[in-house]
Chain A
Amino acid sequence: MKSLSALLPRNVGRRGKIIWIVVGVLFAYSLPLLELPLISTPDVDFAGVLFTMAIYVLVALGLNVVVGYAGLLDLGYVGFYAIGAYSVAMLTAEHGSLGWFAALPVAVAVAMVSGVLLGGPTLRVRGDYLAIVTLGFGEIIRLMAVNSDWLGAAAGVTKIPAPPNIGSDSAGIFAIPHLNWDAGYPLIDLSNKTEFLKFGVLDATPYYWLALTFVILILIADVRVKDSRVGRAWEALREDEDAAELMGVPTFRYKLLAFALGAFVGGLAGALFATRQGFVNPQSFQLLLSMLFVAAVVVGGQGNRWGVIVGAMLVVYIPERFRGFADFRVLLFGLALMLLATWRPQGLLPPLRTIKARAMREKLADLESGDDPEASNA
């Protein structure tokens, strides 16, 4: 949990850190209830935006394993997202009546297997070629959905059931009121309550809590895996594949593992998306979405889990926050991406070691400017 503590204020003890983490997590869970001014989106349902943000964070964490850790450019990540979503739709609505809890693990497993099936033959090609192959994969999945009646064709699948409620189906166990800031200070708004825990159509808050819970679980897994031998193998093969192989890293197996884990998380995000939306259709899985996913990872800083989380949140949040600008918001979003590419090509929060390595390189270049670096060696 080294990197986690880097985010926290300095000079706090172990207990202090735990307190900070708990406060942060509670804050994240209570965001839709607080309805904070400035932060909340005035033109759209904030809980809905938060849910989408959590889904994108999941996607970014999964894609970061593939792109950031293993260094494999995957431009068809939407394919796994679609497979997760369609699997839930098939199992619960179109061709089966499995409960949500039974369908979710199956959907995630299907996505993971599809990752292995795609990776098996294609991970032997490198770099740009892999990007092209994955790009094709994302489109093939969408076109399959459009053209197959079994998958609901262009109309898609409707009536995907919600997760089971906890407590009574009409009101849950208890209701939590939201805050209202209309007066300039917080008032408890008894007319706007979230029922714990009822997955309804109107209130997105329970879905956000569900997605946030998965985000936290995936985040913990991410920290564990990255600090293991697996994480080091990924780093080595990203830096120099041949050298990694010479060190005794079975590079193909580790690339396949990255692909499978990435697909797993992508499928999970897709499954949650389908659950919240209640229907799926091919239009939800356009190629553009893949680009947006990669943008989230690159904007945030590939390789740094906190960076890609920020990137994913911004990619969703900025267009929603500035809905007031109507069509210009997309233009502004594009401009922001361009500016970022120019000024922060490493992303907003690149991995700490990348920053350190660069600083060191610059310092060294200054020291050695003018004379031959070999000469100082002899």
Chain B
Amino acid sequence: MSVMLEVEGLSVNYGPIEALRDVSFAVEEGHICTLIGANGAGKSTTLKTISGLRKVREGKIVFEGKDITGSTPVDRVLMGISQSPEGRGIFPGMTVRENLDMGAYTRKDTKTPAYQQDLDRVLALFPRLEERIDQFAGTMSGGEQQMLAIGRALMARPRLVLLDEPSMGLAPKLIQQIFSIIREINEQGTTVLLVEQNANQALKAAQQAYCLTTGEITAAGTGAELAADPAIRDAYLGGGL
């Protein structure tokens, strides 16, 4: 196993407010790695910084041995980093198919067999999307929109996929389903960096886990180690119940 993504001493500001302070972690190739933490801990900021939407104040990001701290979001997509944004980050006025096409925007190979193969793969993971392929994305339920956001991220054929709160606002049964799909995506060979408030599920799925508290990494280990940590249990897993 080699390190695929390495974040070193990352600090990010929103104006004068420090959102991330000296955050360092690494994602091993082939793993599911999760960042857990409370609301406002800086989890989403971390993902947005990795995909290039936020500027780095200090520190660096290394992807497969290359320093990408200054790269544009487009370059990072081309290198193989793809993100499914938080909440309803889909294009509501486009159909499901058009959303998926946008996911493959950098590839320029629509209408080729390779593209069709990837589309088939996504639709096999999310049969729901196939049923709704010509429906406008904004008219779908929250769970379907989430599936679309993940599927769209996969259409870029990423080596590393960043998932921002895929279980947010979903019913418990649907959360189970989303997590089993995340495992499947990982087994198909895509490394996953998963940001979650639902620490219980996330730690179960992840080989690597980090806990982020108000912009700093406060715990690291395997998913099982963090799940057994009493402090984590108390804070994020409803410990004591």
Contacts and interface: CB of A to CB of B under 8 A. Distances in A.
Contact of B174 (A233, A240, A361, A377): A377
Contacts of A378: 171, 173-174, 177
Contacts of A121: none
Interface in A315-368: 353-354, 356-357, 360-361, 364
Contact of A360 (B77, B139, B141): B139
Contacts, number: 102
Contacts of B83: 246
Contacts of B142: 373-374
Contacts of B93: 235, 239, 353-354, 357
B67 to A, nearest CB: 20
A246 B91 contact: no
A240 B91 contact: yes
A245 to B, nearest CB: 5
Interface stretch (B99-107, B192-200, B205-213, B231-239): B99-107
Nearest to A235: B94
5 contacts: A229-B105, A232-B101, A243-B89, A246-B73, A353-B136
B46 interface: no
A58 interface: no
A254 B103 CA distance: 17
A5 B48 CA distance: 43
Contacts of B156: 247-248
B122 to A, nearest CB: 14
A239 B89 CA distance: 9
Interface in B81-105: 82-83, 85, 89-94, 98, 101-103, 105
A127 B31 CA distance: 40
A360 B95 CA distance: 11
Contacts of B173: 378
Contact of A232 (B102, B136, B139): B102
A250 interface: yes
A240 B52 CA distance: 16
